[in-house]
Amino acid sequence: MDRLPPYGELLGLSTRRGEDGELLWVMPFREEVVGRPGYLHGGAIAGLLEFAALGTLYDALGDEDVTVKPINVTVDFMRGGGKHETYAAATITRLGNRVANVESLAWQQDRAKPIATAHMNLMLRREKAGED
């Protein structure tokens, strides 16, 4: 991603590719993402999950001109996020002409112990060539 929206910058997000080419999102632990002392704010975790889902979707769409709007977002918090970098990745479970379903996962030191997951249903509006 060339430039993040202001909220992504506030969260301090960055991206990298995993060994298998998977798009990973990274959020450092810092004062701007603290909720209760020593733990991540739930909104920061949800924001990270959303960026991972949308980033993965846009990565899959490539240069295609598509407008994406959330239909439904469900976040499940599984454990508190402590004073560590937090990672997130997403998987597209369905990519249709008008709807996409994406699941994202956030973890800290061990991917097998996620701190939160999200499921997003997204409406896709594909722009047709030559349409204004």
Domain spans, the chain:
6-126
Name the one residue in this structure whose structure tokens are 């997130």. 88
Average pLDDT, the chain: 92
Please determine, for residue 78, whether its predicted confidence score (pLDDT) is greater than 60.
yes
Inter-residue contact 124 to 96 (CB < 8 Å)? yes
Quick one: pLDDT at residue 63? 87
Rounded to an integer, what distance in angstroms lies between the CA atom of residue 38 and that of residue 3?
29
CA-CA distance, 54 to 3, in Å (whole number)? 14
Tell me the C-alpha distance between 10 and 7, whole Å: 5
**If you classify domain 6-126 with CATH, what class do you get?**
alpha beta
